[in-house]
Amino acid sequence: MTDSVTEDLSSGVTDAPRTVAIDVDSVLADVMVVWTDEYGRRTKRPTSKRDIQQWDIPTILPISADEVYRYFSYIWMHRWREIPPTEPHIGRVTERIHRKGYRVSVITKRERPTAPYVANWLDLHKVYADELMFIYDSFPKARHHFDILIDDAPNNLMDVISPKSAILFSQPWNLNFDWPVRVSTLSEAEKLL
């Protein structure tokens, strides 16, 4: 191999764009606003997102873990158009992250039947993504390819090890979780990149 070819190959490797993995539920899509509304409708117990102060919802509401996931599936399959973004013009924010030279990977763990509705929601809100990754099994998000993860679930961040890094997206259920980098909007995260 000639020196110029070696140089070209090595520069392509070192110049590879970094990947920012962005969670869907409660980072891009403010799904708990609709989830708590659905819970209130079904149980006649008015509940708001602020009431969900732990991610293990069955410890704070009289509902089983299976029911929690059934509600999420129902919301995504039947009420996905009602789910607001976590901030106005969320698609513009993802586009700005991309324009900064990052690959944008939208990554989400979910039930398989909800995948097309999530994709529709992302299109509706013009969310830019170089890749869209649906995780259906228990394989940790931290083991997927990315350089920076933006997520609201502490259990997804705890497994991230250097050279990867993570940004915690603040939500009522993670306020007691100590994490060095925390943001309240994706726009805030974009400014840190």
Alpha-carbon distances of 82 from 33, 35, 91, 123, 180, rounded to whole Å: 9, 10, 17, 14, 33
Distance CA 95, CA 128 (A): 5
Tens-digit pLDDT profile for residues 25-75: 999 999 999 999 999 999 999 999 999 999 899 999 999 999 999 999 999
pLDDT grade, residue 15 (50/70/90)?
low
pLDDT grade, residue 11 (50/70/90)?
very low
> Measured at the alpha carbon of residue 134, what is the angle toward residues 38 and 139, in degrees to the nearest 5?
105
| Statement: residue 12 has pLDDT above 90 | no
Distance CA 66, CA 79 (A): 19
Return the pLDDT at 1.
41
Tens-digit pLDDT profile for residues 76-135: 999 999 999 999 999 999 999 999 999 999 999 999 999 999 999 999 999 999 999 999
Residue 114 CA to chain centroid, in angstroms? 15
- What is the rounded average pLDDT for all residues in the chain? 91
Return the pLDDT at 17.
84
Helix axes 115-124, 65-78, angle to 10 degrees: 50
pLDDT grade, residue 10 (50/70/90)?
very low
Burial class (CB in 10 A: 0-12, 13-18, 19+), 23: buried
State residue 118 phi and psi, 5-degree precision: -65, -45
Domains of the chain: 3-30+84-192 (3.40.50.1000), 32-82 (no CATH)
Higher pLDDT, 142 or 88: 88
